[in-house]
A and B are shown apart, each in its own frame.
Chain A
Amino acid sequence: MSELTPDLVRHLASLARIQVTDAEVDRFAEQLSLIVESVAAVNNAVAGDVPATSHPIPMANVFREDVVEPSLTQEQALSGAPDSDQGRFRVAAILDEE
């Protein structure tokens, strides 16, 4: 199985929106390579046609009555936000200037 190189760790961290330091990249690459090597054992476990289980207790079509219930007020919904403006979440620019 493939090793997690520092470059791959950097790429994965960027996909996961986590800024990482060089020291973290090196440490995670080493530790995660060992973990990946170990968990790759799952490939040896399965021979033949075995269905996948995504959910331990299968349930299908879980519905409830479509009844209107009280929900959070706008003020409540914004109460934990780091920044808000005129009843909305306020964030930094979505697009780069370039």
Chain B
Amino acid sequence: MSELVKRNASELVELLQSGEVTSVELTQAFLDRIEKLNPLLNSFLHVNTKEALATAAEVDRKRAAGEKLPKLAGLPIAVKDNLTTTDAPTTAGSKILEGWIPQYDATVVKLLREEMMPILGKTNLDEFAMGSSTEFSAYGPSRNPWDTDRIPGGSGGGSSSAVAGFLAPLAIGSDTGGSIRFPAAVTGTVGVKPTYGAVSRYGLIALASSLDQIGPVARNVLDAALLSDVITGYDKHDSTSLPESLGSMVEAAKSGSLKGVRVGVIKELSGEGFQPGVKALFNESLELMVKAGAEIVEVSCPSFEYAIAAYYLILPAEASSNLAKFDSVRFGMRVTPEGNPTIERVMAATREAGFGPEVKRRIILGTYALSSGYYDAYYGSAQKVRTLIQRDFAAAFEKADVLVSPTAPTTAFKFGEKLEDPLAMYLNDIATIPANLAGTPGISIPNGLASEDGLPSGIQLLAPAREDKRLYAIGAALEALQEDVWGKRMIDFAPEVKAGA
């Protein structure tokens, strides 16, 4: 039974449907693993034992009675702690929201409940999703199951370490500049940022509203597709929600082929600054794709050079505005200074005590970028760069069906390495940020272990807006080729995590 937790989600769904495994058994198996390993990995900030088992029992009862159930009914899932849940605290990794119980479910959470998926708990993140390592979580970092001295990526390091460590078969993440894809790359898992607007953001605690997108975290492409088909769709509560259907990602994942596919290698994201082992694996995958009938074309996206700069103006500008709501009035922490302070002093004292250093840095930076006299030079220029990046994508997709790059320049780094150097930390997202600025979809899939350190690396596939199906089709085809070479799933190379290590 212990190996049950290591099976793919698609296999677990079959076991549930055939009655070989009950949802209570399966949910309990993950809860047992969480109990054993979460003290070390810190993937979960809150475990929803009772609620998860209650959902599982209801699924089992309905199945026994022969009632019709949704496809993924009974399959447990973990949810990033920046999505609101009425039955669990929602902190966004911040002290300012400690203990807050929201009064409504995020649309994605509502969809998971309708699918009758037991929600195991809420996963850790850098405070308000600002970071690449979970070191900025107010509740301590999560650890990478491949090497517990290293970061699991961020901001969604709780979800990535939960899925990579077999504490959950699937998880929900959110990706503003790479917060799903970077953690996927460094933990040997799959992460998808859908087209902007494909998944409702209602109930997602906003970081940067024009960049944020919710997406699946999984151990393989088909599993990610199963989850994508549950959470994707129009929502009247999100005015940026796409009204049209993007089709079934499961069908796309099952019908994938590389024959005749034009794969575009982004010149600006294929050389400088990438760890040699990561680059070597990337080139091996290109060869693999050529052997399977793909054609490699080089594309140039010159404006990508300015993507990080534009991103670190647009994101702080939007974040400084979005985080103004944490004002000690309607929810969250309140700190009242001595004497008889005015509300402004209460707000300032609360935000001083409630926010961590990275959040303060970005709010101050955003306030600066938006202040009069600087607005045109910074925020205005950044928005123009965004147009240039969209144009680069459009030109590249004339020549290629998908674009590829290593997901991240390096494998997982050690805790503390980049903590006091914000600029070094920001470079982790060099390959993932352009898709957020352009609104286009991206997937990271496992791409082998780097020769220097034996740690996972990822390959990123990018598609035009609304063409998410290409990512699943081509991603699944590449994954199948790689698993043929490896003889097993990449996650099966991961060492067993030892509790109390």
Contact = CB atoms under 8 A, between A and B. Distances in A.
A87 interface: no
Contacts of A57: 195-197, 240, 242, 439, 465
Interface string B334-349: 1010001111111111
Contact of A18 (B333, B364, B437): B364
Contacts of A46: 381, 384-385, 388
A89 B432 CA distance: 42
Nearest to B368: A12
A73 B19 CA distance: 42
Interface in B205-221: 210-211
Contacts of A31: 361, 422
A26 to B, nearest CB: 13
A23 to B, nearest CB: 11
B210 A55 contact: yes
Interface in B432-453: 436-440
B123 interface: no
Interface stretch (B47-55, B100-108, B287-295): B100-108
Contact of B331 (A14, A36, A44, A81): A81
Interface string A75-97: 01101111100000101111111
Nearest to A20: B352
Contacts of B308: 38-39
A18 to B, nearest CB: 5
B345 to A, nearest CB: 8
B360 A28 contact: yes
Interface stretch (B184-192, B322-330, B475-483): B322-330
A1 B351 CA distance: 29
Nearest to B436: A56
B313 interface: yes
B236 interface: yes
A51 B423 contact: no
Contacts of B436: 56
Contact of B346 (A52, A76, A89, A92): A92
B285 interface: no
A93 B423 contact: no
B387 A50 contact: yes
Interface string A1-36: 100100011001111111111001000100110111
A17 B344 contact: yes
A40 to B, nearest CB: 8
Nearest to B389: A53
A94 B343 contact: yes
A92 B348 contact: no
A68 interface: no
A58 to B, nearest CB: 9
Interface in B269-314: 303, 305-306, 308-310, 312-313
B148 interface: no
B320 interface: yes
B364 A77 contact: no
Given A28-B360, A42-B378, A82 B240 contact: no
A40 B357 CA distance: 22
**Residue picked from A15, A44, A97, most chain B C-beta under 10 Å:** A15
Contacts of B310: 39, 42, 45
Interface of A: 1, 4, 8-9, 12-21, 24, 28, 31-32, 34-36, 38-46, 50-57, 59, 62, 64, 72, 76-77, 79-83, 89, 91-97
The 5 closest A-B pairs by CB, nearest first: A56-B439, A80-B331, A82-B334, A52-B383, A19-B352
Interface of B: 100-104, 195-197, 210-211, 236, 239-240, 242, 303, 305-306, 308-310, 312-313, 320, 324, 327-334, 336, 340-349, 351-352, 355, 357, 360-361, 363-365, 367-368, 371, 377-378, 380-388, 390, 422-423, 436-440, 465
10 contacts: A32-B361, A35-B365, A35-B422, A42-B381, A43-B381, A57-B242, A57-B439, A57-B465, A77-B103, A79-B101
